[in-house]
């Protein structure tokens, strides 16, 4: 399988890239900063420089051509302001979905955030509120794209501890909780392998069910 990861240098993206490369998949990572290319090469991932904030849809489409699946794992990241939450967390996700449609890449998995469909609390930090709105808007746009076999994964609070291999994965709402990035990456691999998860929006937190069983349980026949 050939997989393109948008936001290829992110923490979840690199974990995902290593998992896919180790099992023999061909993986490319879209990165904004060419200085990150060596990191991806060390993971067994092909680095592709493509700035999703400035690229036209035709350019992104060329980068996705020939892929079996695309994973959108890009994000403006900590320290960015409200404007970049919109241009990256929303705008880049929509751009990737449009590009995938243009070249006939039908499988798209999007890394979103728990609670993205709900309005942010009135007392929320303005940047966090912008992030939540951007994720929710991006998810709505992706769900509206005809011809895409999309899955939206909404992890809870991300942690850097070692993965447990056990999760709680279900359609919203799921009680808020934390989940290791290792386990998010493992779930993404399982989602890519399970066509029956297309058309689902799924919350993810730490739990007691093995990843493979959790994904199989939510998949449609």
Closest alpha carbon to 172 in 153, 145, 146, 196: 153
Rounded Cα distance, 90 and 206, in Å: 26
List the pLDDT tens digit at each of the 221 positions of the chain.
999 999 999 999 999 999 999 999 999 999 999 999 999 999 999 999 999 999 999 999 999 999 999 999 999 887 788 899 899 999 999 999 999 999 999 999 999 999 999 888 888 888 888 898 999 999 999 999 888 999 999 999 999 999 999 999 999 999 999 999 999 999 999 999 999 999 999 999 999 999 999 999 999 98
- Contact between 22 and 44 (Cβ < 8 Å): yes
Q: HEC string of 68-133?
A: CEEEECCCCCCCCCHHHHHHHHHHHHHHHHHHHHHHCCCEEEEECCCCCCCCCCCCCCHHHHHHHH
Active site residue 131: yes
What's the predicted TM-score (pTM) here?
A: 0.96
Distance of CA 54 to the CA centre of its chain: 19
Q: Is 1 helix (H, G, I), strand (E, B) or coil?
A: coil
Catalytic residue among 131, 180, 197, 202: 131
Q: Which domains does the chain have, with CATH numbers?
A: 2-218 (3.40.50.720)
């Amino acid at each position: 399988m050939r997989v393109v990861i948008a936001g290829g240098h992110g923490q979840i993206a690199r974990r995902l890239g290593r998992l896919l490369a180790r099992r023999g998949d061909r993986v490319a990572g879209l990165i904004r900063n060419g200085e990150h290319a060596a990191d991806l090469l060390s993971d067994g991932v092909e680095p592709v420089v493509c700035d999703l904030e400035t690229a036209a849809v035709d350019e992104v489409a060329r980068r996705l051509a020939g892929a079996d699946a695309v994973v959108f794992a890009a994000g403006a990241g900590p320290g960015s302001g409200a404007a970049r939450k919109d241009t990256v967390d929303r705008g880049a996700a929509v751009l990737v979905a449009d590009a995938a449609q243009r070249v006939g890449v039908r499988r798209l998995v999007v890394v979103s955030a728990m609670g993205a469909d709900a309005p942010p609390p009135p007392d929320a930090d303005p940047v966090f509120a912008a992030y939540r709105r951007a994720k929710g808007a991006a998810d709505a746009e992706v769900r509206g794209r005809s011809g895409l076999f999309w899955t939206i994964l909404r992890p809870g609070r991300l942690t850097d501890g070692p993965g447990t291999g056990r999760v709680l994965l279900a359609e919203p709402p799921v009680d808020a909780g934390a989940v290791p990035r290792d386990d998010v990456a493992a779930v993404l691999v399982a989602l890519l392998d399970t066509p029956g998860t297309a058309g689902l929006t799924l919350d993810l937190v730490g739990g007691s069910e093995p990843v493979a069983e959790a994904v199989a349980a939510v998949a449609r026949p």
